[in-house]
Chains A and B, each alone.
Chain A
Amino acid sequence: MKKWILITIFTSLVFLSLAFVLADYRDGIQLEYLMYDGGGTAVDETNGKLNATSHNIDWVTDEKGDPAIWFDAQGDSVETNAEATDFVNISDGNWTIGFRMNASSRVATDTMRLLDHTDWWIQTSPTQQIMIGSGITNYPFNYSTPENEWHTYNIISLQGLNVSLWVDGVYNDTVPGIASFGNGINASLNWSEQGSWFSGETNNWVFWNRELTSNEIYTWNLTSGIRVNLNTPIDASVVSLPEIEFNATLTAITYNITNATTYLWYLNSTPLNLTAFSDVTGDTNNNSVVNISGIKPEDYEWNVYTCGVKNDDAAIHNCWLAPLNFSFGAGARINEENHSETTYETANESFQINITSFEGYTPTNAYLWYNGTEHSATITNTAADNYTIQARIDTPITLGSNIFYYKWDLGDYTQQTNNYTQTLNPIYFTLCNATWNTPFVNFSFEDEETTLAMNGTIAASTWDYWLGNGNVNKTYTYSTTENYTNYSFCFSANETLTLDYSIQYSFVGYPQRKKELQTQYTNVTTHTTLYLLSSSDGIYVTFQVLSASGNPLDGIFANATREIGGSTEIVGAGTTGGDGGVTFWVNPDYEHTFTFDGEGYDILITTITPTQSTYSIYLNSVSGDTDISEYTQGINYWITPIPSVLNNNTAYLFNFSITSTYYDLDSFGFVLLNGSGTTLATNSSTSGTGGAVTYTLNTGLNESIVMNYYYVIDGNYTNYSVQWYVANIEEYGFGLKTFFIDLVTYTNDGIFGLNEFSRTLIIFFIIFLMVGGMCYISGIYSPAAIAWEVFALTALFDYGAAIALGTTNGLIPTPINAIAHFPTIFMLFIAIGFTIREALR
């Protein structure tokens, strides 16, 4: 039994295929008036279905000598008397009309009807355009009928929505359809109730109950010459080899074939110097089969240029092309495509396509275009020229059918697949109701101090939820002023749900708290307790979150947890505002753990018993992922003031100078802070090669000054700090410091014409006199003792003066700039040398 069923199916398929192959332009002809009868008042329907009646027509011959009707614009007509239900089943609005026409010189400037129908007609406009008319609207084609020329016309209605005009087998124009096109072709030639008569010759009228294809139009039109039908590669196909066989069928009608040439173009019409000649001749059907090599990945179109001589006059030579070029893409062949036909919004989905690449080419730059958005895809070589292109994305929030396709490069050519579709179903997260009643999470309330259950109010809540990786999510908000013991939230799909929520809850006498958490839930209900703390049991604690340089940090997430009943519970959460502050309502009797986390900063976890109203938190920039030394190449900088101790109530020029010879600086600058972290001044610059940023700051009564200086390269922040201690100048009195300061100031001002050299000379003279005087008074003559005396005085005027003046060098200039206080060090070595020498004597 099964055997007969298989045979029946196979036979049906064979006949079906045969029917498809044999289908030609004659299928669907309802009425055909070729006018071969060429005389009399009746115009015969060629297949004997329904002869038409003529009125006052004259019979003539066309340019080929075939019979034709002559309308003289004086009431001549042919009436088909056809009713739609009798002959034509075209209720779907698909039909075709074909006819040949030679319009004469116009005898009127009004419109003239060629074909008349109850609801619509085909006519020529005052500008001789062929147009569709309905009595309400006229739709002219972009074509004017030439006078005294025979042409073949096809008018095709597609579902009554679009009507196209083809002239001599070539597409011309499309206009909107008319609703009554579905009513059938009950038409008469030049039978006008409006008195608008066509003038000219016509024959070969054919009515189809379907739309003809371009090839069928071409075939119907071509009644002489050589017909060219393109076979393979078929139109809009893909080939993946550099050598392709081009196959076309050439039909000699009234010409003998002399030669055929296959031409190849880029699809953008750029000429391509790749052609091949076919070895075909004759007066019957021939197949042009040629191979063209050297094809590389690109979009092409092709045609066969066929020439011949007239079979009854070899002196007449003509050539023909197929009416439409065939296009094909030379690229990778698609073997398999995998994706989920149906999924949910926000779900993470895989899209994969297996291809055989074009010979000698490796696919690169693969992308998935999903609903108009580009996503990167990975390319994996699985075997030889076989590759897998895969992308994973979180599906967007666009319900229904979504279109996507793949793209990749083969050399300079970008190949794109056809469109695929994926259906997305919606997801809903909401407070449980009659529609959505599978609770994923349930919230209840407890007093943190007593751990007794209580009512609570959700003053505000925001729920971001998704199924995939969170790149796409939906948001639900909920709030109420009512008090309930618990709140259940449900999800529409039986999938693992990720929730990122922020919920603010409170109760009468219990200040509002906030909990923020991201976690996953399933249809097994998760019970969560929200802890409330009464007004009498808690305090508000504000954390001031600052950068290492003391700037307030905005957007730092913070949460507070504490041990309740043996488990760690979240009792507060929040995000810092522009002032860097975040406030918690916490119990000062218990130890809490506070976590501070922000992008670009190391996470900080601190455990304290919060008894103060404010705390300062300093976060360090993330540096673990960056090789800081990488950003020191070519960087030189220096800081002033140089002394590490400054005077109070004194203005200093704080300077941060930097040069960068390797990197281009994004910015650089500094922040000046006092010892308690208060910002005193800032300055910055965006000069790429560096420069100096300065600020003159009065030290005031601060006890220390900190400069946090930084530079930014490619978005990477590098910072350091330097600190100055500020001494109270009132405590100095009038010691040597004042003397040294005045001495330097006055000599710099040129007192008695002195300069730095003469000042040094005076100091040398002073040292000389003092050492000489002490030797004279005390009788010291030991070289070691004298050397130590000289060292002590040198140190006084060099190192001591430097400290007093707050400069690098004192009153004795150093001959070697790289070594500060060189004279003192030099004298130290001499003194030690003399001492050792005397000890060894």
Chain B
Amino acid sequence: MAMNRKGQVFLVGLMLGIAAFMCAMVFIDPLADVITESRAVGQLDCSNASISDGQKSTCLLVDLTLPIFIAVCIGLAGAYVTAKFI
């Protein structure tokens, strides 16, 4: 029995969503490297307790970069799949 149109669209949307998610995940490692470099001693020096409050707040934002990126990826992928489903 052939899949109806709505089912075919959902399947394609799911595949594309997963593909987009996987592509996004590929960027995690380079992004992590960038974050590591940014937090390093020569840059923000986040591990140093004597840095300024501004540097510390920047470090916090940098720390949130990767979670936010992952959350956005998951959110967009989920929204895309959900939109196709709905």
B8 at the interface (CB under 8 A from A): no
A173 at the interface (CB under 8 A from B): no
The 8 Å CB contact of B53, one of A733, A736, A742, A752, is A752
Contact of B60 with A743 in the complex, beta carbons under 8 Å: yes
Within 8 A of B (CB), among A685-739: 733-736, 738-739
Residue contact A739 to B32, C-beta cutoff 8 Å: no
A813 to B49, CA, bound (A): 23
0/1 string, A735-751, CB within 8 A of B gives 1: 11011001101100101
A739 partner residues in chain B, CB cutoff 8 A: 60, 63-64, 67
Tell me the residues in window 38-86 of chain B with beta carbons closer than 8 Å to chain A beta carbons. 46, 49, 53, 56-57, 59-60, 62-67, 70
Tell me, yes or no, whether B28 is within 8 Å of chain A by CB: yes
The residue that B28 contacts in the complex, of A733, A738, A752, with Cβ under 8 A, is: A733
Apart from the given pairs A733-B66, A742-B63, A746-B56, 11 other A-B contacts in the complex at a CB distance below 8 Å: A734-B35, A734-B63, A734-B65, A739-B60, A742-B46, A742-B56, A742-B60, A743-B63, A746-B60, A751-B53, A752-B57
On chain B, the residues within 8 Å of A743 by CB distance are 60, 63
Output the least CB separation between A335 and chain B (Å): 91
A414 to B2: give the CA distance in the assembly, Å.
113
Q: Given A733-B32, A734-B32, A745-B49, check contact A751 B57 (CB 8 Å).
A: yes
Residues of the B chain whose Cβ atoms lie less than 8 Å from the Cβ of A738: 63
* Interface contact tally, CB-CB below 8 A: 40
Cα distance, A746 to B62, chains bound together (Å): 14
- In the bound assembly, the distance between CA atoms of A22 and B70 in angstroms comes to 129
Within the assembled complex, what's the spacing in Å between the Cα atoms of A738 and B65? 11
Chain B residue contacts of A745, Cβ below 8 A:
49
Q: How far is the CB of A271 from chain B (nearest CB, A)?
A: 88
Q: B63 near A751 (CB under 8 angstroms)?
A: no
A752 CA to B46 CA, complexed, in Å = 16
Contact of A749 among B35, B36, B49 (CB under 8 A): B49
Query: What DSSP secondary structure best describes chain A's contact surface?
Result: helix
Q: Size band of the B side of the interface?
A: 10 to 19
Closest chain A residue to B64, Cβ basis: A739
Q: A752 to B56, alpha carbons, bound, how many Å?
A: 10
B64 to chain A, nearest CB (A): 5
The answer for the CA separation of A735 and B56 in the assembled complex, in Å, is: 17
Q: Which of A364-401 contact B (CB under 8 A)?
A: none
Q: How many residues of A contact B (CB 8 A)?
A: 13
Q: Name B28's closest neighbour in chain A (CB-CB).
A: A733
Q: Which residues on the A side are within 8 Å of B66 (C-beta)?
A: 733-735
**CA–CA, A809 and B48, complex, Å:** 24
Most central of B49, B53, B70 by chain A CB within 10 Å:
B53
Residues of chain A contacted by B49 (CB below 8 angstroms): 745, 749
Whether A751 lies near B56 (C-beta < 8 A) is yes
CA distance A736 to B32 in the complex (A): 13
Interface string of B12-38 (1 = CB under 8 A from A): 000000000000000010001001100
Q: Which 6 A-B pairs have the closest CB atoms?
A: A739-B63, A746-B56, A734-B66, A751-B56, A734-B35, A738-B63
Contacts of A733 in B (CB 8 A): 28, 32, 66
Separation of A78 and B81 alpha carbons in the complex (Å): 153
Binding site for A on B (CB under 8 A): 28, 32, 35-36, 46, 49, 53, 56-57, 59-60, 62-67, 70
Among residues of A, the one whose C-beta sits closest to the C-beta of B62 is: A734
In the bound assembly, the distance between CA atoms of A745 and B47 in angstroms comes to: 9
Smallest Cβ-Cβ distance to A743: which chain B residue: B60
Rounded to whole Å, the gap between the CB of B37 and the closest CB of chain A is: 11
Q: Does B67 lie within 8 Å of A735, measured CB to CB?
A: yes
Contacts of A751 in B (CB 8 A): 53, 56-57
Closest to A740 in B: B63
Give the CA-CA distance A561 to B32 in the complex, in Å.
61
Interface centre among A733, A743, A745 (most CB of B within 10 A): A733
- Closest chain-B Cβ to A467's Cβ sits at a distance in Å of 77
A37 to B62, CA, bound (A): 143
Point out the residues of chain A lying under 8 angstroms from B64, CB to CB. 739
Residue among B32, B59, B67 making CB contact with A742, cutoff 8 Å? B59
Bound: A734/B35 CA distance, A: 8
B30 to chain A, nearest CB (A): 12
Contacts of A746 in B (CB 8 A): 53, 56-57, 59-60
Instruction: Give Cα A738–Cα B47 distance, bound, in whole angstroms.
Output: 11
15 residue pairs A–B, Cβ–Cβ below 8 Å: A733-B28, A734-B32, A734-B36, A734-B62, A739-B63, A739-B67, A742-B46, A742-B59, A742-B60, A742-B63, A743-B60, A746-B56, A746-B57, A746-B60, A752-B57
* B31 closest partner in A (C-beta): A734
**Bound Cα distance from A739 to B56, whole angstroms:** 11
Most buried by A among B57, B62, B67, B70: B67
Using CB atoms, name the residue of chain A closest to B49: A749
Within 8 A of B (CB), among A121-179: none
- Name the residue of chain B whose CB is nearest to the CB of A754: B53
How far is the CB of B31 from the nearest CB of chain A, in Å? 8
A736 to B56, CA, bound (A): 16
Within 8 A of B (CB), among A286-318: none
Chain B's nearest CB lies how many Å from the CB of A762?
11
B85 to chain A, nearest CB (A): 16
Report the separation of the CA atoms of residues A166 and B6 in the bound assembly, to the nearest whole angstrom.
142
Cα distance, A734 to B28, chains bound together (Å): 10
Flag if A736 contacts B67 (CB, 8 Å): yes
Nearest Cβ on chain A to B49's Cβ, whole angstroms: 5
Bound together, the chains give a CA A159 to CA B57 distance in angstroms of 114
> Once bound together, how far apart are the Cα atoms of A571 and B79, in whole Å?
75
Residues of A within 8 A of B57 (CB): 746, 751-752
CB distance from B60 to the nearest CB of A (A): 6
Please give the distance in Å from A313's CB to the nearest CB on chain B. Answer: 120
In the complex, A745 Cα to B36 Cα: how many Å?
18
A736 to chain B: which residues have CB within 8 Å? 67
Centre residue among B36, B63, B66, B70 by max chain A CB count within 10 A: B63
Q: Which of A742, A745, A752 has the most CB of B within 10 A?
A: A742
A745 CA to B65 CA, complexed, in Å: 18
Q: Which of A449-485 contact B (CB under 8 A)?
A: none
The answer for the CA separation of A735 and B62 in the assembled complex, in Å, is 11
CA gap between A749 and B46 in the complex, in Å: 13
CA distance A92 to B31 in the complex (A): 121
State in angstroms the CA–CA spacing of A739 and B28 once bound together.
Answer: 16
- For residue B35, which residues in chain A have a CB less than 8 angstroms away from its CB? 734
Complex interface: chain A residues within 8 A of B65 (CB): 734
Q: How far is the CA of A734 from the CA of B57 in the complex (A)?
A: 16
Q: Give the shortest distance, in Å, between A746 (CB) and chain B (any CB).
A: 4
CA distance A639 to B56 in the complex (A): 33
What residues of A have a CB within 8 angstroms of the CB of B63 in the complex?
734, 738-739, 742-743
CB neighbours of A749 from chain B (8 A):
49, 56
CA distance A746 to B63 in the complex (A): 13
Q: How far is the CB of A569 from chain B (nearest CB, A)?
A: 64
Q: Find chain A residues with CB under 8 A from B53 CB.
A: 746, 751-752
Distance (whole angstroms) from the CB of B42 to the closest CB of chain A: 18
**Residue of chain A at shortest CB distance from B70:** A735
Q: Which residues of A contact B67 (CB under 8 A)?
A: 734-736, 739
Q: Bound complex: CA of A161 vs CA of B57, how far in Å?
A: 110
Tell me the smallest distance from the CB of B5 to a CB of chain A, in Å: 28
